[in-house]
Amino acid sequence: MTKVRVGIAKCSSVEDSLKKAVELAGDLDFINQNQSVLLKPNANTADEHPGSTSPEFLKRSIRLIKQKTNRIIVGEKSMASLNTISVLKETGMYDAAINEGVEVLSFDDVEWKMINHKKLTAWPQGYSVPKILDEIDHYVHLCIAKTHWTATFTMALKGVIGLTKNEDRMQLPHGRHNNDELFGAMIAESNLARKPDFILMDATKIFVSGGPNSGALKEPGIVISTKDPIANDIVGLALLKSIGTVPKIQDKSVWRQPQIRRAIELNLGVKSPKEMDLRFYGVDLEDKIREHVDDLILK
């Protein structure tokens, strides 16, 4: 059985941590010269990192991909009440992308396609995503490891909600009582439109409570990289548990989170620790992270 590699690195700089994590995860050799890449950061709001992707992380990610191809589009859709280009400019991501010579695309002004997958149980009316997902060769997802006030956590799986239309996001059960199962299912099912080909997750600074815009902050200094969204989020949850986080995460096996369970049902990635090949570099929390990843107790 071929295992999914996950690179987990901590170096003296974001640049070096990102390079090492990508190397450990198997590199970007799946991208061929002249192929197009959609690079999606986290710009739901203009809050300072880790509320949003840092311009430095975006810049370094662009430079890594440019070693393979120059056809890069940075695309994102901020929350319904905000103008995406304005958010990207306020966070510094717009200038970071333009200065690297790549295109910036706001999903505020694109053509959409409806997803009515037969496996959608939590989206009875379906949802829409940008048609560009059918047109680009590769989709690379930049996300941040952090807690979320109503979705419990937001990493690779949750980040894909950023590809949906405003009216679709209005269906999400934000703040409703006992919403974990429904919200988790909606998050997982949003990944049926198109899974990322590669994930780069910034865990250098993370919210361990509150989130996604503000909260209690810790700085593990880690970057995580993999091609598998479930594996990515499993390691991210294990990291949160290793440094101390909210009871909904701390007191539960990482494999029992609603987002994870529904994603496994949908065959979106790994189903157990046996399918994961964790590769660490410079991470002092390695033993704790491995312990939480291996915890399959159904509690």
pLDDT tens column, 228-270: 999 999 999 999 999 999 999 999 999 999 999 999 999 999 9
pLDDT tens column, 82-129: 999 999 999 999 999 999 999 999 999 999 999 998 899 999 989 999
pLDDT tens column, 1-20: 799 999 999 999 999 999 99
CA 276 to chain centre: 18
Alpha-carbon dihedral 10, 295, 272, 229, rounded to 10 degrees: -40
Return the pLDDT at 177: 65
Q: How far is CA 162 from CA 24, 33, 41, 169, 266, in A?
A: 27, 27, 9, 9, 20
Q: Please report which confidence band the pLDDT of residue 298 belongs to, taking 50, 70 and 90 as the band edges.
A: very low
Return the pLDDT at 299: 44
Return the pLDDT at 98: 98
Distance CA 49, CA 59 (A): 14
Q: Among 34, 16, 30, which residue's Cα sits nearest to residue 227?
A: 30
Distance CA 229, CA 25 (A): 13
pLDDT tens column, 9-59: 999 999 999 999 999 999 999 999 999 999 999 999 999 999 999 999 999
CA 209 to chain centre: 18
Query: Token pair for residue 172?
Result: 């999400």
pLDDT tens column, 156-187: 999 999 999 999 999 898 877 678 999 999 99
Return the pLDDT at 297: 61
Query: Token pair for residue 248?
Result: 């909904």
CA 39 to chain centre: 11
Does residue 271 carry a pLDDT above 90?
Answer: yes
